[in-house]
Amino acid sequence: MSLLFVISTVMAGIANAQWYEATGTAYIIDGDIERARDQAVQEAVKSAIVFAGASISSIQQVENGTLTQDTISYQSNGELVGLEVLSQTTSGDTLSVHVRAEIFAEPQCSSSGLTHTITIARFPLAHRQHAAYGGIYDIGAAVSKVMHTSIEQTSNYLKSHLWLDEVVAYEPTQLMPHPEVDALARTLARRTNSQYVLLGQVRDISVSQEESVNLAFWTYQPKPRSLAIELDLLDGMTGELVKRFRYQDRVLWGFPPDQTVDPFSADFWQSDYGKAWGRLLSDAQSDIETALSCAPSIANIINRQEAGVIVNMGSLDGISQGQTAKLTRMTTFMDPFGKVKTSFDTSGIELVVSAVEARQAYLTTKYPSALANVNINDVVIFNGVNQEW
């Protein structure tokens, strides 16, 4: 899905609230104008709310361009008070709407201004037999690769270090009771030099078995096909689950039943079914960005020198010369249930970036003796833009 928007602000009469204008676009799938309109309105509202300084998750409460409740709250620091659709246009299979939204936004948390590094592993199929219709056995690989590429090309907040073309052995529904998943996340994060790991599973791509109403047996009628995915965002430092995301939809599968479709092909992604996957992945990317919007930017110490340390983040991650950070010691311990836990002990030692390369940076301190007890795999936490230490 493409998203182009222009936002302007007009002061509202209500204290602490402002009017914002934004434009959102959506594909028209299966000729469903109303659905595309709802999706375009949601994208426009997302844009306006983010511009206003509030965080947001996927919007589900907008129907036919109107609010389904008096107010909608977003992560307790932003509220959509009013909404008006100003115009609607279509061009080919794309629909655009221009909206005017009244938003109350509380200040967000301080941010380091850096990207959060993430690794995405190939998503396996929960039910492989679902892929037989159309032969889309590689749908999990294609979806995860497209998500990696989208983050790389479009995200200002995430940096996808690597797409792992391998199935990671884990079952999402069994995630919480299994401590070994923590170790898996930490191992993958160290292996790929990332702070977070995204694992997932394609839960449903089944085709409806409803009989066609067309009595002409030689005429193929497209059948509805589900698309559902579950994603787990894991902290690569601690191995713990940050957040679980679930998405699902159902659109017509427009290919003949005997045609094998390559899910990596342009034909697939330009079909109505592929476009639905594109929208779902766009929502997931937005939700992951929101989930990490207040998370600190943490880098591992990979080498220690006489007057400073080298960390595994660099200019590609937004590190710049002169930026400051706090030295933090990371320790692990066993909780009463036998699960490995991680704790961070922030010291009073402040570091400054003296030199930076693409994927690493050299930080120094005024007091080199303070680094005597620093160990490899200790971490530094970069200071927020407006944060006071």
Instruction: Supply the pLDDT for residue 205.
Output: 97
Which of the pair, 105 or 288, is modelled with greater confidence? 288
Q: How many residues make up the chain in this entry?
A: 389
Q: Is 91 exposed, middle or buried (0-12, 13-18, 19+ CB in 10 A)?
A: exposed
pLDDT in tens, 281-329: 988 998 898 888 878 888 888 888 878 899 988 888 888 899 888 888 7
pTM above threshold 0.85: no
Does the structure show a pLDDT above 50 at 102? yes
- Helix 272-291 crosses helix 139-154 at what angle (to 10 degrees)? 50
* Cα–Cα dist 196/188, whole Å: 9
Instruction: Supply the pLDDT for residue 149.
Output: 95
Mean pLDDT of all residues in 161-187: 68
Instruction: Supply the pLDDT for residue 288.
Output: 92
Mean pLDDT of all residues in 12-26: 70
* Cα–Cα dist 291/60, whole Å: 17
The domains found in the chain, sorted by start residue, are 8-105 (3.30.1660.40), 116-291 (3.40.50.10610), 298-382 (2.40.10.410)
* Cα–Cα dist 341/356, whole Å: 32
* Cα–Cα dist 195/112, whole Å: 14
DSSP strands (E only) in the chain: 8-11, 17-27, 62-63, 66-67, 72-74, 78-91, 94-105, 116-122, 158-167, 196-204, 223-235, 241-253, 298-304, 308-311, 324-334, 340-356, 361-364, 379-382
Does the structure show a pLDDT above 50 at 187? yes
pLDDT band at 80 (very low <50, low <70, confident <90, very high): confident
Instruction: Supply the pLDDT for residue 17.
Output: 72
3-class DSSP state of 145: helix
Instruction: Supply the pLDDT for residue 275.
Output: 92
* Cα–Cα dist 5/84, whole Å: 16
